[in-house]
Structure 1
Amino acid sequence: MLFMTLVTLKHAGTWNLLAASFDEKASTFSNRVNNFICVIHPYLFETHKSALYAVDVAFQQTTAPAAFFGEKKVYFSKKHDIYGHTAEVSVAPNGLAVNVTDCAVGSMSDFEMFTFREKFLTRWAVLADKGCQRIQDCVRGLTPVKRPPHGLLTMEQEVANAELSSDRVVENFFGRLKTLWGLASDKYAWKKEEYNMYFQTYVALTNVHNKNRLLSIGGKLKTRALSMKAKYRENRKAKIQAALGRVNSGYASEDFDIGYKEADDILY
């Protein structure tokens, strides 16, 4: 079931196409995958307390709701000019997601998403983008300075914004998330009631991928260090053997330091 779930999240598409890959009916296959995710979903995230982390909102396009205009317009995002869902993800400095909120309608702003969640501890510090300018009312927040209307930022403000924007831990996480899972980058056309379950599942699986990647990088660095040490020992051993061979044969290293190579021609 785990393999079926990973294939479903990786390739997305229609249930008929996914079920055909495993020679099953679409209804049977979708029920099995949904039931499996429902079982593991409560254990995906624990309560992590991080003293410093970055937050950002992920937007995913969805099909237009089959409802009256007054009901479906709340799903329309003026920022992206499409219908969709938004969800806020908190990423720790080590690159792992520590919290994911439930999805909201596409018309909700980043600041509204931030205040929509539970209250934060006052000693927490949060790194956010320009969409969360007023989070300082809730927590100790670090946000870039927005350019005033018909005005310009000072040189100090430009430098401060560049330093804050250089830490793109959340953007890097979102990029890896959409690269790994087709369901995250594709237009979501499945049941909207199950969106939270799927989104939080492939966020947790991205954490697993990041952890394994860090372990792999650490293993490669250790292997490279051991290889360099072994190569250094071999070169040092060869130099010592060559020096001992010249001494035993009656030649010292100074005998060869006469200012020219043996193959050079000497003109008189």
Structure 2
Amino acid sequence: MAPSQRSTRRGSARAANRSLSPQDIAHGVSVLTQLDTHRQAAGASAASLCLVEPEDKVDSPCPIYHSFRTSDPENPNRLINFSHHEFERLWSQVRMHISENWNVGRGRKCEQTPKNVFFMVLTVLKHCGKWDVVASIFRFKTGAFQKMILSFAGVIAPFLYDRFVASVANKFTMEQLVLGGNTFDHHPYPRYATDVTFQQSNMPSGKMKERASYYSAKHHLHGHKVEVSVLPNGLALNCTKHYLGNKADIEIFRHNHAFHLQHLLKSSSERNMTDEGPMKDKYPDSWCVLADKGYQGLADDFRVITPIKKRPLQQLTLDEGRTNDRIAHDRVIVENYFGRLTTLWAMCSDKYRWDKNNYDMLFRSCVALTNFHVRILPLRDEDGENYSNYLKRLQLLGNGMRPKRLEVQRHHREKRRMRLRGMLTDHIERPLSGSHRIRAMAKSDSESEDLLNHESYVFS
């Protein structure tokens, strides 16, 4: 190393170790004190101003949900049926799945945060109706809003069903229900109760045969049917796909036989449990299931407990009436569940007007969210009253549409009768000569009689 470089380093080291003079210290303290004084004065000069929060920008990872919540703490409950803490609890259970499956891969990404979209999906399920109405609430274009909601629902719906519905069957076995004291009051041996709910939909625009398949003679409406099975603790453990309105309840049960056979089968540990229920000798390896009168005849294939049907021209005995009352008392859990389901979600109670291909996805999401709600607030008698009011409303709609339908049919029959008479008149008055006229008149008389007979047969 050169001597000049060594001397330079020694000089810099001595300068660094040199102590400051009192004048240098006083000057430095004075400069820093003035800077601090100016900073404090600048902060104090704005104390008299009013702080205005910008309305268009919210410092939050989910500004849409935050805006509704800060406007009124009760808004989440009004819009999605859950309070803020319940929504946060629900979000914590689905957040990981959404982050791994939403807005991933190639292609254009959604600009909204997952939590905001989840909040909007719950709002759509609760209020249903037309897409443009809900889209306008969140200031979205209808087409973009519909695409975003259905895309997100396609990601979250299977997870919600597996998390809150399918897992219930494995968690609450018959052994767990007995140990927890959660069996039915009068029938401790059924595993669950099963019933079908009906929802009105638009009448199809196809041929008469296709439209008739959606028509329910019980409700006098076109719609869908879904079978739901509910445990004694009020949680649903199965929800079938939707069936057309004219499908019998017992046929839906038979189509879902794989589920019933699997979950009514006794496990190895349950075969040693006490079982004094009906048909235990015929089905020693199966638990019972509660059903209503629409399932009469299932006892040939399943261990089903149904009410006793009244015999022709005879009344039920007092014992038979009490038996039916006990069955109805235990089976009311399904009606209470349907009451909670139709009260919470307009998607399951209002007239369904959307694409039928999305019906199962949306309906199952509502069943899963209802299970989450039942865990927070157990089923009550008022839920059964709500379902009774729902059925009365369907009956009112069906009875109101029958006169209109009969008037349309009467008008159609009158037009057809006039059309047939015109065809018959033209056929009779057709000019002929000789023997052809005689044969044509005889033939026309027989044809006219056949046409009128056919007319009276079809429209009588």
Please give the range of the TM-score, normalised by the shorter of the 2 chains.
0.7 to 0.9
Q: Deviations over 1:140-174 (max 9, x none)?
A: 11110111222211111100000110121000000
Q: How far is the alpha carbon of 1:183 from its aligned partner?
A: 1.6
C-alpha distance in 2, partners of 1:118/1:97? 17
Count of matched residue positions in the alignment of Structure 1 and Structure 2: 214
Amino acid at match of 1:103: H
Runs of 4+ in 1 over 3 A off after TM superposition: none
Q: Which segment is superposed worse, 52-61 or 150-159?
A: 150-159
The 5-angstrom pairing of residues 165-176 of structure 1 reads: 165-167=328-330, 168-176=332-340
Letter matched to residue 26 of structure 1: T
Q: Which runs of 5+ in 2 are unaligned?
A: 1-116, 175-190, 266-284, 379-460
* Partner residue in 1 for 2:140: 24
- In structure 2, how many angstroms separate the alpha carbons of the residues matched to 1:115 and 1:199? 21
Deviation per CA, 1:28-66: give whole Å up to 9, x if none.
111111111111222213252554000000100001011
1:10-89, aligned counterparts within 5 Å?
Answer: 10-43=126-159, 44-45=161-162, 46=166, 48-49=169-170, 50-51=173-174, 52-89=191-228
Look up the equivalent residue of 1:106 and give its one-letter code: G
What is the CA distance between 1:19 and its match in structure 2? 0.5
How high is the TM-score relative to the length of structure 2?
A: 0.45
Provide the rounded CA distance (Å) in 1 between the counterparts of 2:158 and 2:352. Answer: 22
User: Partner residue of 2:281?
Assistant: none
Structure 1 range deviating more: 150-159 or 47-56: 47-56
For residues 36 and 137 of structure 1, the distance between their equivalents in structure 2, rounded to whole angstroms, comes to 44
**Secondary structure of 2:224's partner?**
strand
Aligned to 2:355: 191
What is the identity, as a one-letter code, of the residue corresponding to 1:70? Answer: K
Out of 268, 293, 301, which is 1:130 matched to? 293
Distance 2:242 2:287 in 1: 23
Report what 1:210 is aligned to.
374
2 CA distance for matches of 1:26 and 1:2? 17
Amino acid at match of 1:196: D
Aligned identity (percent) is 42
Question: What are the ranges of 5 or more consecutive residues in structure 1 without an aligned counterpart?
Answer: 215-268
Question: Relative to structure 2, which stretch is displaced further, 97-106 or 23-32?
Answer: 23-32
Higher relative contact order (CA 8 A, sep 6+): 1
Q: Which structure would you say has the larger Rg?
A: 2
TM superposition shift of 1:137: 2.0
1:150 aligns with 2:150: no
Structure 1 vs Structure 2 CA RMSD: 1.3
Aligned twin of 2:90: none
Deviates more, 1:85-94 or 1:23-32: 23-32
1:97 paired to 2:250: no
Which whole-Å deviations, capped at 9, do the CAs of 1:121-156 have from their partners, x for residues lacking one?
A: 451310011111122122211110111222211111
